[in-house]
Chain A
Amino acid sequence: MSDEAKRKPAKRPRAEMPCQDPAERVRNFNEVALGYDEELAVAEAERCLSCKDSKCRDGCPVDVDISGFIAKIRDRDFRGAYEAIKGTNSLPAICGRVCPQETQCEAKCLLGRKGEPIAIGRLERFAADWAMSQGKDRPADIKPNGRRVAIVGSGPAGLTCAGDLAKKGYEVTIFEALHAPGGVLVYGIPEFRLPKRIVAEEIDNLRALGVNIQCDVVVGRTITVDELFDEGYDAVFLGTGAGLPMFMNIPGETLNGVYSANEFLTRTNLMKAYLFPEWDTPIKVGRRVAVVGAGNVAMDSVRCAKRLGAEEAIIVYRRSEAEMPARLEEVHHAKEEGVIFHTLTNPVRILGDEKGWVCGLECLRMELGEPDDSGRRRPIPVKGSEFVLEVDTVVMALGTTPNPLVSQTTPGLEVNRWGCLVTRDEDGLTTRDLVWAAGDAVTGAATVILAMGGGKKAAAAIDRVLRG
């Protein structure tokens, strides 16, 4: 192909992602983004410049060979593309769907300087979905090395660490507090964004590698880290996430009808309250629902509320739209679905009726002042601007911190002032020998791909140390 012909497709806009129609999808929990077909994927792959010094790769926390796998899609070698991604990313079907690409790989793409960056996430998802449609991964040939590692928590950090160690011949057991493995991937992120069959498939792949998963074990209660060592584990990896919900500590937070986003999403996703009464766990969604916050968790909550039948689903956020931490795509999808955004609005009080149910959310209007520590302009209240949003359900999506159950029951395991586990090196070694940690438990609430990257590093370090 001449240089000329190679360059041309780059000028095209990126291939649109086929999506379920907004009017239709607010009435179901099926996946919103339908995925590229082969033709769309090849067309999008053709736009890639296959840069020698590909900047996109620097934006990926797990160093996916982006230009390499895209070239293979362009050449219709879909299996090869999948394997190229799998080289460094063990959960591509998940990352392709939930990575905040616009701040990671796609943010660095050369094409993004003038036009639209390559849709790297969508292509990654395509390759992974294609491979899944072709049947199971062939289980690798594994020689057991006789050493045992306990993994605490089955979120992306734990799953990745477990997979890497199992491939190296370790006997790996994952201990999970809930009745189903997957962490936030199953209890937090909704079906319409990440179908649970995909998570289940990835977990099956791990089981095929010989990983043993024990649900219903709360480490710190059912068994302690020290007892795991007593049981003969040679090392322990903590991927316990950041599951403790924060509240605002404003009046009215214990009224009936106030949820933490964790409870709202766990009832909806893990317990499938959207199928109540066919499934047994109920959820209460009023006619007007306010979700406080504007991260991924808030977007997921507000879009669930809409699907659960709320007539009005409202985001209440104290900063402006530019500061919203959610993935762009989620904000865009939420808007398409009719979610109402009250930005520069801060709740000060939840109002209740005579029976103790929520009947309103009193808010203050805000304006943006000087930038704060995070570099974002600080919101300051406008005096006398109180007003009441009439709502009957309030969901607090303000962020989460790590659960102290493990640190409180493990002598010598240090946490910092935010409750995050202290690590002694890049690999996630904690202040206890032979105990590593990664993911949200170390960083505080972050991303799937960072948790995976951390789990990977820890696996490599565990292998180095245990081999001596």
Chain B
Amino acid sequence: MFEILKKRDLTPVTKLFVVEAPLVARKARPGQFVIVRVTESGERIPLTIADYDAGAGTVTIVVQEVGLTSRLVGALGEGERILDFVGPLGRPAPLTDRGPVVLVGGGFGVAPIYPIAKVLKTKGVKVISIIGARTKDLLILEEEMRSVSDELLVATDDGSKGHKGFVTDVLKQLIESGREIEEVIAIGPMVMMRAVSRTTEPYKLRTLVSLDPIMVDGTGMCGACRCTVGGEVKFACVDGPIFDAHQVDFDEAVRRGHMYDAEQKLALAKLEVAATGGRGGCACGGGR
């Protein structure tokens, strides 16, 4: 079970895996995620389902290496097995029948946007996608996104591809240009989603984001993933992870994401010692 059938390096720090997981594949919907664990003493980390094929019994995930566990996942190769792969978790994204929908993906967030675009497209909903990254080499899944979007706009912080600047600049231009937009769905780093939310709020434009708080079980058992939405405490793993952006307390979400900063450094240090001693050469692609 959970054998890696295919691996693709999307960037030096972003890896795509096609994993054999027939039960998960059968039930997966856009917006849902899995929790993986790769060693007996390992941590459980959530990763969004980036594609699924019920017929083939496979689920695709895209992992960006940021800390210990994401690097351990990233280091796995074809033919190896993921120890635990549980899902699909969370509620599927509520997808409208009315377009146009603007999808915004930043960094690894382009991966979870992809199945949403794919389903919207098959429903005949017009999709305008905006994808971005710091620089051209970190941009992922551009061709895949183009194939499921009516229009694809690209932004890089350094201008090495597409618009020079943030995805929010492009989004703002789009809104200002008076184009018809039914709703916006944005997935990426918490700070990017906060920026998107702030961009669309003045226009009262319905905006959904997918929160990525720290999680443990992913089934509603621990409450680690709680976040405040519309003044109420929600468990992102069962009530979300997709929420109405304008109701989300982003500052709190960002703050809670820093709970274990000190411990995460410690864990990474351990990996680096092991990497230099063992496999020769550092697996680190430069972090974030």
Contacts and interface: CB of A to CB of B under 8 A. Distances in A.
The interface residues of chain A, by DSSP majority, are classed as loop
A256 B41 contact: no
B223 A247 contact: yes
Interface in A267-307: 267, 271-272, 275-282, 284
A216 B69 CA distance: 18
Contact of A271 (B43, B83, B227): B43
Contact of B216 (A253, A263, A276): A263
A218 interface: yes
A397 to B, nearest CB: 12
Interface in A230-258: 243-245, 247, 249, 253-254, 256-257
Given A179-B37, A215-B84, A254 B222 contact: no
A356 to B, nearest CB: 4
Interface residues of B, number: 42
B75 interface: no
B263 interface: yes
Contacts of B252: 254, 356
B256 A254 contact: yes
Interface string B8-25: 000000000000000110
A28 interface: no
A326 B23 CA distance: 40
Contacts of A271: 43-44, 216
B226 A223 contact: no
A257 B255 CA distance: 11
A244 B221 contact: yes
A8 interface: no
Contacts of A275: 41
B119 interface: no
A263 B222 contact: yes
Contacts of A272: 41
B223 A262 contact: yes
A217 B85 CA distance: 9
B242 to A, nearest CB: 16
Nearest to B226: A254
Contact of B258 (A217, A253, A256, A267): A256
A324 interface: no
A456 B68 CA distance: 43
B135 interface: no
A217 B23 CA distance: 9
Contacts of A253: 226, 233
B219 interface: yes
Interface in B49-101: 68-69, 83-89
A249 B226 CA distance: 12
B217 A266 contact: yes
A247 B259 CA distance: 19
Interface stretch (B139-147, B148-156, B204-212, B264-272): B264-272
Nearest to B41: A279
A245 B222 contact: yes
Given A179-B84, A267-B216, A277 B23 contact: no
Contacts of B181: none
B43 A281 contact: yes
A280 B85 contact: no
Given A221-B27, A254-B233, A244 B220 contact: yes
B216 A266 contact: yes
Contact of B85 (A216, A256, A404): A216
B49 to A, nearest CB: 12
A213 B256 CA distance: 35
Given A256-B258, A284-B263, A223 B27 contact: yes
Contact of B44 (A179, A282, A356): A179
B154 to A, nearest CB: 35
A218 B21 CA distance: 14
B228 interface: yes
A57 to B, nearest CB: 36
Nearest to A256: B259
B238 interface: yes
Contacts of A243: 219-221
Interface string A409-447: 000000000000000000000000000000000000000
Nearest to B269: A277
Nearest to A180: B84
A247 B86 contact: no
30 contacts: A178-B217, A179-B86, A216-B85, A218-B86, A218-B87, A218-B89, A221-B27, A221-B89, A221-B219, A222-B24, A222-B27, A222-B86, A222-B88, A244-B220, A247-B233, A253-B226, A254-B226, A256-B258, A256-B259, A259-B224, A266-B216, A271-B44, A276-B263, A277-B263, A277-B266, A279-B42, A280-B41, A280-B68, A403-B219, A403-B221
5 smallest CB-CB distances across A and B, nearest first, come from A282-B263, A263-B222, A260-B223, A216-B86, A280-B43
Interface of A: 177-179, 215-218, 221-223, 243-245, 247, 249, 253-254, 256-257, 259-260, 262-263, 266-267, 271-272, 275-282, 284, 355-356, 403-405
Interface of B: 23-24, 27, 37, 39, 41-44, 68-69, 83-89, 216-217, 219-224, 226-228, 233, 238, 252, 255-256, 258-260, 263-264, 266-267, 270
